[in-house]
Amino acid sequence: MKIGILDSGVGGLSVLREIRKLLPNIPIHYVGDSSWCPYGNKSAEVINRRVFQITDHLIECGATLIVIACNSATIHSVGPLRDAYLLPIVGMEPGIKPAAQKTESGVVGVLATEASILGEKFHQLVNDHAKDVKVITRPCPYFVELVEAGTLNGAEAESAVKEAIDPLLDSGADVLVLGCTHYPFLGEAIQSRLPSGVSIIDTGIAVAKRVQSLVPRNSNSVVEATIDIETTGSLDQLNRILPSLLPDLAVNTASCSL
């Protein structure tokens, strides 16, 4: 058993850390497609091509289950991927359903990439689960840039958060959905901006639980299960920012030439 995880960059590590908490004894292989990051401004066709290439690579590296730790890639590619591969594929979508159930003001703010917001699947989600709720969307491409640069707090992060979130709060949103896996890394800056009574929905933990439910009980767990993290971008940059993204985890890093 080996869990393969992919994202446009380092954002999916926010999902990896939740999976690791639940499954410390299962090896993980992660690919961050930082040389193609962001996916948020790419077409469905480009995102699909990259997701297929990376999935093939993860399978070659021994992955027996794939996690698309990227909302944008899930929205565009999870269907075609499930049609093409036999192994289990876990995707993730913005938490519209839990947000619509939680809101008391009737207004939900969704922070997500443009690619996610424009996707057919996203509109389906809103139609299916949030018909009676006002859903306000807000793409935050700058959040992705900040996280890829390792800038998780400080003045720059705080002002980006203020600019993205204040209009949602002013419109009466009392639940904010973090619809991109990069955004939880700005969690501290986001939390400190929120007035009391406003909550955040991040689906990382739900995805980790779904992965756990798919791991057979008798699977070959190992005591010191490795975490291999590959990047298609700069390995130096990855090594520089990893201690702030995953402070408590020992990982191996490498370049990926896809």
Which positions lie near ligand DGL, rule CB under 6 A? 7-9, 11, 37-40, 70-72, 113, 116, 144, 180-182
Nearest distance from residue 106's CB to ligand DGL, in Å? Answer: 26
Residue 64 or 71: the one with the smaller Cβ distance to ligand DGL is 71
Alpha helices (H) along the chain = 13-22, 44-60, 71-84, 96-102, 114-118, 120-129, 141-148, 155-170, 187-193, 204-214, 235-245
**Of all residues in the chain, what percent are helix, strand and coil, respectively (each to 5)?**
50, 15, 35
Selected catalytic residue, list 37, 61, 140, 180: 180
Least distance in Å: CB of 254 to ligand DGL? 21
We find the least distance from the C-beta atom of residue 50 to ligand DGL, in angstroms, to be: 10
Closest CA to 112 of 149, 82, 73: 73
For the bound state, the minimum distance from the C-beta of residue 48 to ligand DGL, rounded and expressed in Å, comes to: 14
For residues 131 and 161, the answer to whether their CB atoms sit within 8 Å is no
List 37, 70, 140, 256, catalytic entry: 70
Nearer to ligand DGL, 64 or 116 (CB): 116
Give the separation between CA 126 and CA 128, rounded to whole angstroms: 6
Write the burial class of residue 73 (CB in 10 Å: 0-12 exposed, 13-18 middle, 19+ buried). Answer: buried
Cα–Cα distance measured from residue 163 to residue 159, given in angstroms and rounded to the nearest whole number = 6
Report which residue's Cβ sits closest to ligand DGL.
40
Q: Using CA atoms, how far apart are residues 96 and 85, in angstroms rounded to an integer?
A: 27
- Is 180 known to be catalytic? yes
The residue (of 9 and 27) whose beta carbon lies closer to ligand DGL is 9
Q: Closer to ligand DGL at the Cβ: 51 or 144?
A: 144
Active-site residue flag, 140: no
Give catalytic residue positions: 70, 180
